[in-house]
Structure 1
């Protein structure tokens, strides 16, 4: 095999692992852009490595990406960035269609907006231990080598992280079913159907709205239903989208500017959590699907 052939073979092997690595890094970092950077760094390190000396490429790449991610998380903790201070997870907004890219499906699998917020509250070592072992089945011994801990200490980190994320609402059912619940919520809000809203909302629902002036939190079905009836989403042009792989909407004003992005977590056919973004500055910086005709 020529040198060129070996390089092509390594590149192909890396591309086969890339989607998994991006999904893994996204869960650890909470940012698609940061996840892409971490995986790109792994590729650069692989390019400098003698690939013939790597017995298990998938394991090697997992280790490298894990170490890059923990360095990034520790740097982030040392120098907090504003976007991580207000508890706002990154909104990855894509068109809602059946032909969504496979990497977006991998990215969203088993990780909703609520879980991203909780993961961000974990220490870097806790987050890696939980993500790598519980979500990607990396053995504790290998996780420990990545974070510099013994196997037993790594198990304890993962256990502590599990306790912290316990109770975080996880989406259930088919995506189409969750979309139907969100559509029913929007229809009831537009029609002023207060009782209809209460039937759709979990009694303990929480709505976190990130605005230019801070985070506004509404608790309980009655308060959330009242807020929905008088919200800007009732009067806006609503475009169905996927937010981190879950059904959501982009609301557009008459001037063609986005009014907000909204996503919800549906459990047992009811909305248990709503997260929305209404900060014009952050909305303007987002890569949103084009306004519908």
Structure 2
């Protein structure tokens, strides 16, 4: 780095990535902003000539500051308010073809799971190692420096976190079995098959819809089936996604605009509950995969 001006410009180029890391580790946008701002303060005090790799230096600082925040929360018995009321994290439902069950779980679920409340049960070093490696691809050699552990210890921390996250996210069966149920639901919807839809939905299904008019909760499957068939007739399409580590469906209008996001609870090979977001403003501010 040749000057403070260069330092500021390069920091701004890294800001988005740093915010993404801190947000996923801390589960709070405001906490992430505070951490990244503190990283800038520390960078501004640093001699640019002493920094060989700015991206790695900033990742280290943000990682260590995030660990400090997590430890402070644990000491005070606090949880992140924003983590409880944030928008869901939605990712494409990716099926691994490498034959590695652990890789499959992370391929399809890591981004959403990185913000799940279950991560609150992890130690700060496990949480940071998991997010940095499995979500952002940071090498374990760098992670070891950040958490002040050996490379092998960093790998073990991430592996422990991965197992805990995967196990906690699958209380009613594997993601693959749940996925098959959602696949059957989507196939029946595409075909306008009323009977097939009834078969995949539990008779006492709870359907919660969040729209600009507020939240409505309905019990039973008939009204949902009629809505799905009507959407198919209007040319709406749907793709399977992962919503905070759970199976979900993202629906699109014929124009390609997202019109609905469903989070599905699957038990005993049937959908027992669906939470749907049908608010254009809410969907508009979410980071949604481009599947249309």
Q: Do the aligned partners of 1:194 and 1:226 also contact (CA within 8 Å) in 2?
A: no
Structure 2 residue aligned with 1:123: 123
- Residue 155 of structure 1: CA displacement? 1.7
Matches within 5 A, 1:282-293: none
Structure 2 residue aligned with 1:140: 140
- Length, aligned pairs only: 221
- Residue 151 of structure 1: CA displacement? 2.3
Residue 149 of structure 1: SS of its match in structure 2? coil
Q: Following the alignment from structure 1 to structure 2, what is the Cα–Cα distance between the partners of residues 276 and 78?
A: 36
Alpha-carbon displacement from aligned partner over 1:51-73 (angstroms, at most 9, x marks no partner):
22100000000000000100001
Structure 1: gaps (5+ residues): 94-108, 172-176, 210-223, 235-242, 250-260, 278-286
- Residue 158 of structure 1: CA displacement? 1.2
- Residue 27 of structure 1: CA displacement? 1.4
Structure 2: gaps (5+ residues): 90-108, 177-181, 209-216, 228-242, 252-259, 285-292
Structure 1 residue aligned with 2:160: 160
Q: Do the aligned partners of 1:118 and 1:165 also contact (CA within 8 Å) in 2?
A: yes
Alpha-carbon displacement from aligned partner over 1:170-212 (angstroms, at most 9, x marks no partner):
79xxxxx99x96xx7xxx9xxxx8963653x6x8xx9899xxx
Q: What is the TM-score with the length of structure 1 in the denominator?
A: 0.54
Q: Do the aligned partners of 1:26 and 1:32 also contact (CA within 8 Å) in 2?
A: yes
Residue 112 of structure 1: SS of its match in structure 2? helix
- 1:90 maps to which of 86, 90, 100: 86
Q: Do the aligned partners of 1:27 and 1:116 also contact (CA within 8 Å) in 2?
A: no
Q: 1:225 to 1:77 in 2, by over 3 A?
A: same
Structure 2 residue aligned with 1:101: none
Q: 1:51 to 1:125 in 2, by over 3 A?
A: same
Alpha-carbon displacement from aligned partner over 1:240-271 (angstroms, at most 9, x marks no partner):
xxx88x9789xxxxxxxxxxx9852699xx97
Q: Following the alignment from structure 2 to structure 1, what is the Cα–Cα distance between the partners of residues 115 and 74?
A: 19
- Residue 152 of structure 1: CA displacement? 2.2
Q: What is the TM-score with the length of structure 2 in the denominator?
A: 0.54
Matches within 5 A, 1:47-62: 47-62=44-59
Q: Following the alignment from structure 2 to structure 1, what is the Cα–Cα distance between the partners of residues 146 and 122?
A: 17
Q: Following the alignment from structure 2 to structure 1, what is the Cα–Cα distance between the partners of residues 196 and 56?
A: 53
Q: CA RMSD in A?
A: 5.3
Q: Do the aligned partners of 2:262 and 2:276 also contact (CA within 8 Å) in 1?
A: yes
Q: Following the alignment from structure 1 to structure 2, what is the Cα–Cα distance between the partners of residues 77 and 207?
A: 35
